[in-house]
Amino acid sequence: MKILLLHSDFIEWEPKKKALKSAEDIEKKVSNVKDVLAVFSAVEKSDEGHEKTIIEKTTKEILEVVKEVKAKNIVIYPYVHLSKTPSSPATGLKVLKGIETELKNLKVSVYRAPFGYYKRFQISVKGHPMSELSREITPEKVKEDTGKQDVSKAVKKEETMKSEWHILDTEGKLHKLTMEKNKIKGFDFSAHKKLMKFAMYEMAKSRQVDTPPPHIALMRRLELVDYEEGSDPGNLRYYPKGRLIKSLLEDYVTRKVIDYGGMEVETPLMYDYEHPVLKSYLDRFPARQYTIETPNKKVFLRFAACFGQFLMTKEANISYRNLPLRLYEMTRYSFRVEQRGELAGLRRLRAFTMPDCHAICRDVEEGKKEMKIRLDLSKDILDGAGIPLKENLEGGFRVVKSFYDKNKDFIKEMVKKVGKPVLLEMWKDQFFYFIFKYELNFVDALNKAAALTTDQIDVENAKRYGIKYMDKDNTHKTPVILHLSPSGAIERVMYALLEKAHMDSMKGKRPVLPLWLCPTQVRFIPVSEKFLKDTEKIADKFTSENIRADVDDRGESVQKKIRDSEREWIPFTVVVGEKELKGKKLAVRFRETGKVENVTDSKLIKNIKEETESMPYKPLPVPKLLTKRPIFVG
């Protein structure tokens, strides 16, 4: 049996005429059920003779999903098109009636659409990560479409490892944390509410998402990003405006890393699964991999740039004079088979864009010095992206106890660079390839945390890959490697910006994106069609100055156009009429303040260019005139 489970705001159906002579006798009427899990169902030929088992297993599957999504009602909807080998109508009806009865016996609110009819139906699916699921139920077992994956030893170990949790304050004092009745004891969080939320999230070690985070609705409404039903879950589509923001962030991070000294390279997406060195590293990394059978071998899709950069470095002739040696790649894409219930919009994906910068260092001491430089780089990058550390991020340190005991001064310096207390997770023994790592984490509207920046001191992989450098005494030595993602995945930066905007709006502030990232920076609105050509000329002047400007030429009222501009979070909205053309001043609505000011076009251009100075620029990603644009989400 195949079922498609859709968590929906409502489903409505109306029987039109019989599709089968044996169709049920029913009253033809319109039915509408709200807050519903709609279960589109197809009983198959292989289910015949096993009806009782199929009914029991399907009922169990439906109940598990209902529990996850918290739907109030269930609708069993016959949908034979899910199967190429449907059962006989008699078996199909028997099984669907059986599932309905089982659910009713359990006091569940359940409805069943009529069997054997052509029906008109409407449905409004909620659009969160758990809202669209499919299952295949067989007499032998239940299959779930979780994607092909191999689980590393590190993943299994991470599930059983015990940690000691502390807060390390800016004075270097360690405060041991304990969890009692869902409350954290051991530190006064009164001035650090977000740090407490971060600590709660990490100590619980639960990544499941029960409620759609607010940024999902925003990324769709703003026509930036959307789910792609034709791909594997966690692989998204980017509309023109979203692609612009993503590409600007990619350019920005890359420029910053190159200025720091990173040498940009490019490496393959897939690697030999049976390669002894690569397989050894896979088992030390806590991630689930996609694996693929090619015509030649079994391969895995990379989760970062480590594999290619380390194989490249192994072949290089490296002198101590070259150190620290900094290699960088913007990995489009990296892949991890995150578990289905953990996928959540831009926050956690299976395919993502990871800026990855490794530094080959002489030893741990040089690595510590380099890590401090890289923390400053990361703070600068996130600040420019609109996510300053002080207001928006929480530090997380993870360390092996022996390293902490020998390097307390270094770790205290790192806390001072963060500028506020950090959550510190300490392991008694080393299991992963690193002995110390730090993260800068964003805590969202649902109190879930996501790491943006991360850097690690890796003491294993240089030896594993055979990476050497020639020291000043003419002997080959094994270096230490640092693993830095200066911003974290680009998608997570977008997630943080949207979540931050939502949280600002909850405080009564107007949600905005950084000006340099706004798809449209200035929206021009002619008072009537009479002023359209003059308005276009003004917009073109802004475009010639590398400012993204568009013109609302629709046949709507000026007030509606202004409201739509506000709804798109456009920073500057300019109404153009006879008064503005004669007076040589523009009536500019400033989104952040809501005020309207009269300024010259040259003054507005100057202000925008000053605010976006040194940031990457790309032209408007959609047609200048709104009437020329398609509606991607509507």
Q: What is the CATH number of the domain that holds 35?
A: 3.50.80.10
Q: Which residues on adjacent β-strands are paired with residue 38?
A: 6, 75
Please enumerate in sequence order all residues whose Cβ is within 8 A of that of 54, keeping only pairs 6 or more positions apart, or say none: 1, 43, 47, 95, 137, 139
**Model pTM score:** 0.77
Task: Work out the angle between the directed axes of helices 490-506 and 240-260 (0-180°, nearest 10).
Answer: 110
Q: Kindly tell me if the per-residue pLDDT of 204 is higher than 90.
A: no
Band (21; pLDDT cuts 50, 70, 90): confident
Band (287; pLDDT cuts 50, 70, 90): low
Report if residue 507 sits inside a domain. no
> Of 85, 113, 144, which marks where a domain is finished?
144
Block residue for tokens 């420019």:
384
pLDDT in tens, 157-194: 555 567 899 999 999 999 999 988 788 999 999 999 99
- Segment 550-572 mean pLDDT: 96
Report if residue 125 sits inside a domain. yes
Q: Kindly tell me if the per-residue pLDDT of 130 is higher than 90.
A: no
**Do residues 11 and 56 share a domain?**
yes
**Do residues 476 and 558 share a domain?**
no
Report if residue 405 sits inside a domain. yes
Dist CA 543 CA 533 (whole Å):
15
- Segment 506-533 mean pLDDT: 96
Dist CA 311 CA 292 (whole Å):
21
**Do residues 161 and 121 share a domain?**
no
> Of 117, 144, 171, which marks where a domain is finished?
144
Strands 522-526 and 549-551, by their bridges, are parallel
**Do residues 242 and 353 share a domain?**
yes
> Of 497, 524, 553, which marks where a domain is finished?
497
Single-letter amino acid, residue 535 = T
Single-letter amino acid, residue 550 = D
Report if residue 274 sits inside a domain. yes
DSSP state of 123: E
The number of helix segments (H) and strand segments (E) in the chain equals: 18, 33
Report if residue 505 sits inside a domain. no
**Could you list the residue range(s) of the whole structural domain that residue 113 is in?**
2-144
CB neighbourhood size of 487 (10 A): 28
**Do residues 579 and 519 share a domain?**
yes
**Do residues 23 and 75 share a domain?**
yes
**How many structural domains is the chain composed of?**
3
